[in-house]
Structure 1
Amino acid sequence: MTELQRIALATGVELDVVIAGDPANPPVFLLHGFPESHRTWRHQIPELTRDHYVVAPDQRGFARSSKPEGVANYTPDKPVADLLALADHLGIDRFTLVGHDWGGAIAWMAALQNPQRIARLIIVNAPHPLVFQRSLFDDPAQREASRYISRFRDTRIDQGLVGAGLEKFFASTFTQHLVSAVAGEDKAAYLDEWGQPGAMTAMLNWYRASAIVIPEDGTERPVWLDAPFPPVTQPTLVIWGMRDKALLPVQLALEAYVPDLTVVRIEDGGHFVPWEKPEAVTAAIRGWLGKRS
């Protein structure tokens, strides 16, 4: 794997970033989610660098990147700003954006707000903002599957997420969402990243800063759920591990909001499909990009 570079951004944070491939090739940015790092893409990066310029940051709050204090520093507009500042720093105007989990949430938002910068969009097991919020009100199974968000928002859990608490988090909360086992150096890498000072609080602050509503009895339905919503204008590929326990197939009801949509379902993949089923994900990305180059 290419070495991490430390880059200070105009947004006031420093990110560790993998930069690989020929800068003359088309740029692709890869955004990881919770509770990971650039390592989400460890199988895709070498393949993509064959004909793309690849940029994969550790986003704010994760691994050894900056961890500004306070929930307000993790509202979605902040990592979107980091993304654009990183592209500016590298002299990149338009690029393909790939996102998984929280990285995918940021990718949806960035693409909707910055069509002049983001040429193509690739989403991996990350819900569209309207479809997700609507499903939390209208789909009881998705609402139940998302209860963990309320738990993650409880700041009382942070004090237990150190030392042996990280091992417990790995063995319970994390592994229950895995299709395949994680051990050896991969497990060690997770525990190392989570064990960085302030990392677990910073990572969980992404959930705390989000405007997503987990409805309880009597929660009023937001008016915007039934109002017009702007379409994603970019050609969009959605890759979905169908054994995802947190994000159910209802999230694939995207046609009304993504006019130029391709969906690739990976039936035996779970939520962490980029490394659980790396060949299928890489093939889907390369095949789709190849048709659009």
Structure 2
Amino acid sequence: MALFVDSLPGCVRAAAFWTLVYSYCLLCACTAFIKLFCSILIRPRRTFKKISREVTPSCLNDPFLGTHCYVRIKDSGLRFHYVAAGERGKPLMLLLHGFPEFWYSWRHQLREFRREYRVVALDLRGYGETDAPSCKENYKLDYIIVDVKEILDSLGYSKCVLIGHDWGGMIAWLIAICYPEMVTKLIVLSFPHPTVFTEYILRHPSQLIKSGYYFFFQMPWLPELMYTINDYKILKDLFTSDTTGIRRQSCRFTKEDMEAYLYIFSQPGALSGPLNHYRNIFSCLPLKHHHVTMPTLLLWGENDAFVEVEMAELTRIYVKNYFQLSVLSQASHWLQQDQPELVNNLIWTFLEEERFRTKN
């Protein structure tokens, strides 16, 4: 399919690309309507049942995870929430979460790396306690990248170890490309280089199907509705089902962990901001080829239900520095929560090896 599209004139190629996007959006929307209709027929009461969640789960205020902080950046005027652990003045480790997550997805890393780093787990624009502009145009990738740059400045740092997972991984790649002077080391979990992703998805229908939610999220209001039915069943299943969830018994979500996620995403309007990130992605595609110039670690789950492992190895050609890839056996998409001890050890090893390599 991609070879055929590449051979077309520019205007025709653009038309073919957008025809694909909108056709798949329509298909995903029709599928969602059918699921909703069936749910209403079978379980009408349960379909629209939602539990009120007004009390903050205690795990979100655990002092051992760090301190809740806020910073307002100049360019947009938005107020960002983050949780910070470790002493001020230590090297900065900045953590960018994916979808549908928030700072709490990095709880294991906040505890682990505070010994040697100032660890900051950010709520991205539109997530959690960070401000959420209502207009979808405010979630373009260019704005998100500038957010991170300004937050770094506001924290009093000029550079950091940057770690991103899933959508936060996409942002981390782009920051490393656009502002290489800001990133001493790049660590990405469960997302390939953006150019690999855009080229691979056009050539592999299996990945196109796995990324169907990108297209579904282009619809107005319907994705928000689908996430709320049956008291946020889709959200629960993402982290707990046999298909997409965390499988290791010792690392599965506790009831309190799940309630933390449900509390955050059940707040009024809490889903629109995260979904608006995706509603801007096709205006930024296809991306040009860009190289990453800092040492890079890529971690991938063998059982990732959303991104195919073949993309991990293809990423290597875009890193013009030391590149390390580790595929974690039996791991799901939610790596830093699924296998936190192994992920932390791999990150420590990468950081220490790179430090030793630099000295010599």
Query: What is the TM-score with the length of structure 2 in the denominator?
Result: 0.74
Deviations 1:50-81 (A, max 9, x none): 11111111111111210001111111112211
1:45 to 91, 110, 115: 110
Deviates more, 1:204-213 or 1:119-128: 204-213
Paired letter, 1:178: G
1:91 and 1:280 map into 2 onto residues whose CA distance is: 31
Q: After alignment, is 114-123 or 7-16 more displaced?
A: 7-16
Which residue number in structure 2 is paired with residue 257 of structure 1? 318
Deviation at 1:182, TM superposition (A): 2.8
Could you tell me how far 1:237 is from its partner in structure 2?
Answer: 0.4
Cα 1:233/1:107, change in 2 over 3 Å: same
Trace 1:64-213 onto structure 2 (pairs within 5 A): 64-158=129-223, 160=225, 164-173=229-238, 175=241, 176-180=243-247, 181-211=252-282
Post-superposition CA distance 1:218-253 (Å, at most 9, x none): xxxx8x67x7x2211011000111111110112111
**2:161 counterpart SS class:** strand
For residues 166 and 111 of structure 1, the distance between their equivalents in structure 2, rounded to whole angstroms, comes to: 38
Could you list the runs of 5+ residues in structure 2 that have no partner in the other structure? 1-64, 356-360
Alpha-carbon distance change, 91 to 157 in structure 1, aligned in 2, over 3 angstroms: same
Work out whether residues 126 and 270 of structure 2, in 8 Å CA contact, stay in contact via their aligned partners in 1.
yes
State the SS of the aligned residue for 1:98.
strand
100-109 or 191-200: bigger deviation: 191-200
1:62 aligns with 2:122: no
2:359 counterpart of 1:292: no
Query: Larger radius of gyration, structure 1 or 2?
Result: 2
In the alignment, does 2:342 pair up with 1:271?
no
Query: Deviations along 1:253-290, whole A, 9 cap, x unmatched?
Result: 11211132101111111100100110111111111111
Shift of 1:23: 2.4
Report what 2:14 is aligned to. none
Amino acid at match of 2:274: M
Query: Residues 162 and 234 (structure 1 numbering): CA distance in 2 closer, same or farther, change over 3 Å?
Result: closer
SS of residue in 1 equivalent to 2:268: coil
List, as ranges, runs of 4+ consecutive aligned residues in structure 1 with deviation greater than 3 Å.
161-166, 171-176
Contact 1:135 1:250 in 2 (8 A): no
Q: Separation in 2 of the partners of 1:195 and 1:9?
A: 26
Residue 219 of structure 1: aligned partner: none
Quote the Cα distance in structure 1 between the aligned partners of 2:166 and 2:283. 14
Contact 1:145 1:246 in 2 (8 A): yes
Percent identity (aligned): 31
Residues 177 and 111 of structure 1: CA distance in aligned 2, closer, same or farther (over 3 Å) = same
Residues 238, 245 of structure 2: 8 Å contact kept: no
Q: 1:80 is aligned with what amino acid?
A: I
The alignment's TM-score, normalised by the length of structure 1, stands at 0.90
Secondary structure in structure 1 of the residue aligned to 2:181: coil
Instruction: Tell me the distance in 2 between the aligned counterparts of 1:255 and 1:39.
Output: 30
CA shift at 1:164, angstroms? 4.7
**Mean alpha-carbon deviation: is it higher for 82-91 or for 164-173?**
164-173
Amino acid at match of 1:101: D
Looking at structure 2, the residues matched to 127 and 212 of structure 1 have their Cα atoms a distance apart, in angstroms, of 19
Indicate the residue corresponding to 2:306 in structure 1. Answer: 246
Q: Answer yes or no: is the 8 Å Cα contact 2:244–2:305 preserved in 1.
A: yes
- Counterpart check, 1:7 vs 2:71: yes
Distance 1:143 1:54, change over 3 A: same
CA shift in 2, pair 1:241/1:173, >3 Å: closer
| Greater shift in the superposed pair: 30-39 or 18-27 | 18-27
| Cα deviation digits, residues 162-218 of structure 1 (max 9, x gap) | 7655422224455442133434111100111101221111111111111279xxxxx
Per the alignment, do residues 254 and 30 of structure 1 end up closer, same or farther by CA in structure 2, a change over 3 Å counting?
Answer: same
| Alignment CA distance shift 1:165-1:208 (3 Å) | farther
* Structure 1: unaligned runs, 5 residues or longer: 214-221
Structure 2: how far apart are the matches of 1:54 and 1:185?
Answer: 23
